[in-house]
A and B are shown apart, each in its own frame.
Chain A
């Protein structure tokens, strides 16, 4: 296949995120079944698989947007299986969404600022002026610069073109400075140049954190991710480096559909 991986060996960090026997049963339809996922600290880890393989469901389970039927989720060694979604985010595991998730009628700057606002500890202060939020503008602009959006700071997010919305979403997620970043198809629906930019951006932000991403685009995964987990019908089909999984006959069969 394309471009030989120019990755170093994955850092031999400890596990930052782990699932054991993670299962989700939607009234008889088993979307995720017995998934054991091990994400090492400091790596970029991809979750790939054909449509309906359960990738997004795994994401929703990890971030507690839905509750697992069985299995446990450990984040930094702590059991978060019963935690609430906002708690998971506050502990440092923040997700993005498959369809772009901006706040459409807020300005670009306000989008990022909402994410920066929580650490001020005034988010329940309905008696304070919002002028107190101006202190966050410097940091917000820095984050926007990192994704080339500083020039659009006063535009309303809904008016941005699609690629820029994704960039804004990424800047908003990074505003929380998460230890683990979960990206749900970050390049989906993007043009070729945009894909390149986003890949560069992910590589850059992954320097200080762990990234787990769902991706459809195999060429993106090839030279970006240290570890790849292939899901099929809710279960793990294969796991390893790109070189390993891309030559695995079972993976090829799942993707290309070699007749048995």
Chain B
């Protein structure tokens, strides 16, 4: 019943004065500024991929780290939003802003549907129901004509944002993706630190007690699930726009597993953890692609070592270190 170790560490860091409101503000400003400058130094498509996965993992962490729900079907939201955005951009010629909204909206509705059924159960049953739905969706994606089956949707046009900014150039596209990430990240941050977020924590900490205080825990879980699904969809829609294709990979259960991995590796229940985890995993995926199939073995080993040796996740361990060796 105790909270995630990463979160405990974050709370301890607050109490020890390692994290202060001033330092937090300075950190976020530094992060925001470095995000603006980074594409001048690092390959932008790689950065955009990291940002999409970071948003996906952060949205997932809202459930796992802050509500105590382990979803094992989050690829459903990432993947379906990618297909929807790809389809409306490619076949219906929608502008990119509407395409992103359409993908996000479909993922949100899907979240309402899957969440509405899954939250009636908890623990492993909840995880299995979400996995079951995600698998159904995966098979739909294989079978339905508009998804392109094994080939996926290729050559999705990026179009012109608001009819003004052509997105076929890399830098404008990067800044759009960056703005989307910051927006999504802010929504998650605000949700965690809201009156609603405090109820979520109490549910994670002790569900029967929250119920006995008069909170309809299922409704709170559902709202959290829908927010998480919607933002995962936003991440998937953005990714389809960036890479110009939507494939089965994003709807596959491997992705649902990968997001768990990113969150645990970075530190579940910490605000920055999932983003750090996403950076590590996408980097490994990218730079180890030369070694072929061995990449899964390497990532698997990193995960095992990470969970065994750094239970608090990278961010949690960093905070722990800072607390024991104050600067």
Q: A and B, one complex?
A: yes
Q: Is the CB of A104 within 8 A of B2?
A: yes
| B208 contact set on A, CB distance < 8 A | 65, 97, 101
Query: Majority SS of interface residues in chain B?
Result: helix
Give residues 58-109 of A contacting B (CB, 8 Å): 63, 65, 84-87, 89-90, 94-97, 101-106
Residue A128 is within 8 A (CB to CB) of chain B in the complex: yes
Q: Is the CB of A125 within 8 A of B194?
A: yes
| A120 contact set on B, CB distance < 8 A | 195
- Which residue, B8, B195, B208, B211, has most C-beta atoms of chain A within 10 A? B195
| B2 contact set on A, CB distance < 8 A | 104-105, 158
**Which residue of B190, B205, B219 contacts A106 across the interface (Cβ within 8 Å)?**
B205
Q: Is the CB of A63 within 8 A of B191?
A: no
Residue B197 is within 8 A (CB to CB) of chain A in the complex: yes
Q: Among A111-119, A142-150, A241-249, A252-260, which stretch is in contact with chain B?
A: A111-119
Q: Is the CB of B216 within 8 A of A128?
A: no
Q: State A117–B2 Cα separation when bound (angstroms).
A: 22
Residue B76 is within 8 A (CB to CB) of chain A in the complex: no
**Which residue of B1, B190, B212 contacts A129 across the interface (Cβ within 8 Å)?**
B190
Nearest residue, chain A, Cβ from B209: A101
Q: Is the CB of B196 within 8 A of A123?
A: yes
| A114 contact set on B, CB distance < 8 A | 198-199, 201-202, 210, 213
Residue B7 is within 8 A (CB to CB) of chain A in the complex: yes
Q: State A85–B207 Cα separation when bound (angstroms).
A: 12
Interface residues of A (CB under 8 A from B): 63, 65, 84-87, 89-90, 94-97, 101-106, 110, 113-115, 117-118, 120, 122-130, 132-133, 154, 156, 158, 172, 176
Interface residues of B (CB under 8 A from A): 1-3, 7-8, 11, 15, 190-191, 193-199, 201-202, 205-206, 208-217, 219-220, 223, 227
- 26 A–B contacts, CB within 8 A, in A order: A65-B211, A84-B216, A85-B212, A86-B215, A97-B208, A97-B209, A101-B209, A103-B201, A104-B206, A105-B8, A106-B202, A114-B199, A114-B201, A117-B198, A120-B195, A123-B196, A123-B215, A124-B219, A125-B196, A126-B197, A127-B194, A130-B197, A130-B198, A158-B2, A172-B213, A176-B214
3 closest cross-chain pairs (CB), A and B: A89-B214, A103-B205, A105-B3
